[in-house]
Structure formats: structure tokens, C-alpha cells
């Protein structure tokens, strides 16, 4: 994808050097890395300048690697801030538009939502005959409605955090200028309406209430209105994420399959109780860890996250310790299973995850935002892996 940006002189060498006039900045993708190409006109100054003369028909290209992870925009030469995307430029292809929407939807949360609903749905399966088209239809209804609500929530958060994201996540479409605020509002409103519409016509009360509570908490978390924008308060923000990721996802979507799809009475099984308790730990970790790489922007805009108040190192190792405790409990629970296959998969699987986490945590350089962000995405991969293990716990 190429996007055009224009700027006036980036560098003006006092008394000599290269004088860069107006130029076009092009974003290129080379072997998966985002780079900027700057077509410049170089003018030789005095004879004392150590500048190579250009041939009359030649121009030089200056390549600058983007400093931010996944960033599609180069930092301004004088301010260090990311250059704004030119709102007049048009996407060159459908692929460009798809790429922007992909980043807007925050794909790691999309994957987490899909895997969690699939995993929890299979906790309601009691016999082989339960695995039927009826089950998969019920799962599809839940996944589509939840994904629409997920996009509403992450989109609203980006609309509320445009200025913060220009510092913390300049590659997001609203922060970069690829999406205007009006476009963001249109997308968020559309997915909000479609989510509730689907939840209503399906006729499943557990599904509808899952969407409704997620909407309330997601809105209160982000929107900048009196008594709201709960993300400003570290404990309240963590409780919002815990309520959605740990409680609503486990219980509501399980009940959607158990009562609406299978028509069975409400029953809280051992695997469901364990899944809810375990994911409560994991959701707290995600809530704490997500703010570690964002400490710079949060300080500037007054977001009192735990990383701001307690420091990155303390929060980082608190998150690692919480997960290790959760894995220890999972190993004990798995060891008490009456089924040999369940015992083996649960114990071995969680030992592998705990060992992998500890090894990765010890190698992280906490002074590097890139490494912290990479580790945060690794935490999400552990989150996905846990949902793959949960159905085997019996």
C-alpha cells in the first residue's frame, strides 16, 4: 500500500548541506517492513560543503525506517511526533481499505472473542449427538453478534482516545488520519445497531444480556462524559475488563448454548466454574498489562493507570506472578480429573504454558517499548491457548 503525504522542507542546513524543498513522502512495504521514501531535490551550496553533486536528470531517494512497531508513519524530523496522514489522499485499492479496517477492529481482541465463545460453547456439550448443525448455528449467532459489539467497543475507545493514540498507537486509522472522526462514528454506530438487531432476532436472552452489559461497560469505559470514562481509574478499568472477559463471556455464552440451543435447565458445571475463575485472573492480567507500553501517552493525558502510579517493572512482574499462580491452580484442578486423557492434557498443557511464560518474561527488556508490546501480544497468545485447553477439562 502506498499513501502520499506532502510536507514542506524537512531539513534546512544552515550555511550548507542539503536543502530539501517540497517533496512527496511515500509509504512503501518492503519485506513486511513499513518504510518512507522521500524524493528530494538536492542543491549544492558553497564549495566548502561536503555534498555530492547530482547529475541533471537524477534524483536521490532517502529511506527512513519507521521507529514505531507496525507504524505506517514517520516521526516528524523536528518534533519527533508521527506525521499526519493526508486526509485528501484516497486509498489505492480495496486492499488498502481492508487493511485500515483490520487495524481499526483490533484483531487480537477479535481472535480472543471468537476463541472464547467457541471454547465456552463446547463446555455445554454433554454427548456426541450434541455436536450438530443446531450447535454450530447457535455458535455462529453468538460469534457474529459478539464480534459486532467488539468492534463497537474498540472503535468507541479509539474515537475517545484519538490524541492519546497519536502518541501510543499512531498506526491506528483514526490516530493516523486515514479515518475521519465521521467515518469512525459511522462504523461504530453501524456495528452497534447490527449487534443489537441480531441479538434481538435470535431470541436468546443470555445472548442479548451479554451484548447489553458489554455495551454498557464498554461505553462507560471509554466515552468522555461526566461520571464516565472509567478507564481513567485503574481499579474500575480493570473491573470492566474482568466483568466482560471473565464473567459475561463464560457464563452468558455458556447459557446461550445450554438454555437457548439445547433447551436444558441452567446448570453451573465444574469446567464452567473453573473457566470463570481462571479467566478472572487472566482478564486482570490483560487489564494491567495493556497499559505498560502506553505509559508515555497516559502520563501526558492524565490516565492514572497502575503502570503510571506503580511503575512498569512492578506491574509487569505482578502480571507474570498472577498468571503463574493461575497456572498452578489449573495444574492441580487438572490432576484431580477422573479422566486420564483430561488429566494428561490439562497438566501437561499448563506446565508448558507456565514454563514458556517464565522463560519469555525473563528475556524482556522493560526499557524497550517494542519488547513490552511484543510481550503483551504474547500474553494474548497464552489467552488463546487457554481457551484451546478449557474444553478438555472434565
The C-alpha atoms of residue 88 and residue 250 are separated, in whole angstroms, by 45
Residue 315 has pLDDT above 60, yes or no: yes
Quick: pLDDT tens for 127-178: 899 999 999 999 999 999 999 999 999 999 999 999 999 988 899 999 999 9
Higher pLDDT: 83 or 161? It is: 161
What pLDDT is recorded for position 37?
38
Element (H, E) at 117: helix 107-123
| Average of per-residue pLDDT across 85-114 | 82
Predicted confidence (pLDDT) at residue 33 exceeds the cutoff of 80:
no
Q: What is the DSSP letter of 169?
A: -
108 Cα distance to chain centroid? 5
Q: How far is CA 223 from the centre of its chain?
A: 18
Q: How sure is the predictor about 231, in pLDDT bands with cuts at 50, 70 and 90?
A: confident
Q: What is the pLDDT of residue 15?
A: 39
Average pLDDT over residues 253-275: 92
How far apart CA 266 and CA 122 sit, in angstroms, is: 15
- Tell me the C-alpha distance between 355 and 360, whole Å: 9
* Sign of the four-CA dihedral 280, 281, 284, 286: negative
pLDDT in tens, 292-304: 888 887 888 777 8
Q: What does the pLDDT look like over 184-205, one tens digit per residue?
A: 999 999 999 999 999 999 999 9
**How far is Cα 66 from Cα 188, in angstroms, rounded to an integer?**
29
Q: Exposure string (b/e) for 78-92, b if CB count within 10 Å is 16 or more?
A: eeeebbebbeeeeee
Q: What are phi and psi of 28, to 5 degrees?
A: -120, 160
The structure's pTM equals: 0.71
Query: Residues, the chain, total?
Result: 394
| Interatomic CA distance for residues 107 and 384, integer angstroms | 13
Amino acid at each position: 500500500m502506498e499513501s502520499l503525504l506532502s510536507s514542506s522542507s524537512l531539513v534546512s542546513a544552515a550555511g550548507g548541506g542539503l536543502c530539501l524543498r517540497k517533496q512527496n513522502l511515500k509509504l512503501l512495504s518492503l519485506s513486511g517492513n513499513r518504510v518512507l521514501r522521500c524524493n528530494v531535490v538536492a542543491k549544492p551550496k558553497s564549495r566548502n560543503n561536503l555534498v555530492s553533486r547530482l547529475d541533471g536528470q537524477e534524483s536521490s531517494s532517502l529511506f527512513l525506517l519507521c521507529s514505531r512497531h507496525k507504524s505506517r508513519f514517520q516521526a516528524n524530523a523536528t518534533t519527533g511526533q508521527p506525521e499526519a496522514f493526508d486526509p485528501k489522499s484516497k486509498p489505492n485499492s480495496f486492499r488498502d481499505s481492508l487493511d485500515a479496517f483490520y487495524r481499526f477492529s483490533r484483531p487480537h481482541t477479535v481472535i480472543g472473542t471468537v476463541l472464547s465463545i467457541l471454547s465456552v460453547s463446547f463446555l455445554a456439550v454433554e454427548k456426541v449427538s450434541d455436536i450438530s448443525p443446531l450447535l454450530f448455528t447457535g455458535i455462529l449467532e453468538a460469534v457474529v453478534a459478539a464480534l459486532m459489539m467488539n468492534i463497537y467497543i474498540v472503535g468507541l475507545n479509539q474515537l475517545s482516545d484519538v490524541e492519546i493514540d497519536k502518541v501510543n498507537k499512531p498506526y491506528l486509522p483514526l490516530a493516523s488520519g486515514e479515518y475521519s472522526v465521521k467515518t469512525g462514528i459511522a462504523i461504530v454506530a453501524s456495528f452497534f445497531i447490527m449487534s443489537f438487531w441480531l441479538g434481538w432476532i435470535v431470541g436468546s436472552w443470555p445472548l442479548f444480556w451479554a451484548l447489553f452489559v458489554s455495551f454498557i461497560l464498554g461505553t462507560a469505559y471509554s466515552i468522555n462524559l461526566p461520571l464516565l470514562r472509567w478507564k481513567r481509574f485503574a481499579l474500575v478499568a480493570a473491573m470492566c475488563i474482568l466483568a466482560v472477559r471473565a464473567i459475561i463471556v463464560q457464563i452468558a455464552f455458556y447459557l446461550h448454548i445450554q438454555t437457548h440451543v439445547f433447551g436444558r435447565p441452567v446448570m453451573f458445571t465444574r469446567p464452567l466454574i473453573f473457566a470463570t475463575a481462571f479467566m478472572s485472573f487472566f482478564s486482570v492480567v490483560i487489564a494491567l498489562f495493556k497499559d505498560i507500553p502506553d505509559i508515555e501517552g497516559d502520563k501526558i493525558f492524565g490516565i492514572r493507570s497502575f503502570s503510571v502510579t506503580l511503575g512498569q517493572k512492578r506491574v509487569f512482574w505482578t502480571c507474570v506472578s498472577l498468571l503463574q499462580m493461575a497456572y498452578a491452580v489449573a495444574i492441580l484442578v487438572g490432576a484431580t480429573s477422573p479422566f486420564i486423557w483430561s488429566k494428561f492434557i490439562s497438566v501437561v498443557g499448563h506446565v508448558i504454558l507456565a514454563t514458556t511464560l517464565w522463560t519469555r518474561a525473563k528475556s524482556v527488556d522493560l526499557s524497550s517499548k517494542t519488547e513490552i508490546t511484543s510481550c503483551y501480544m504474547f500474553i494474548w497468545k497464552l489467552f488463546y491457548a487457554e481457551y484451546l485447553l478449557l474444553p478438555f477439562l472434565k
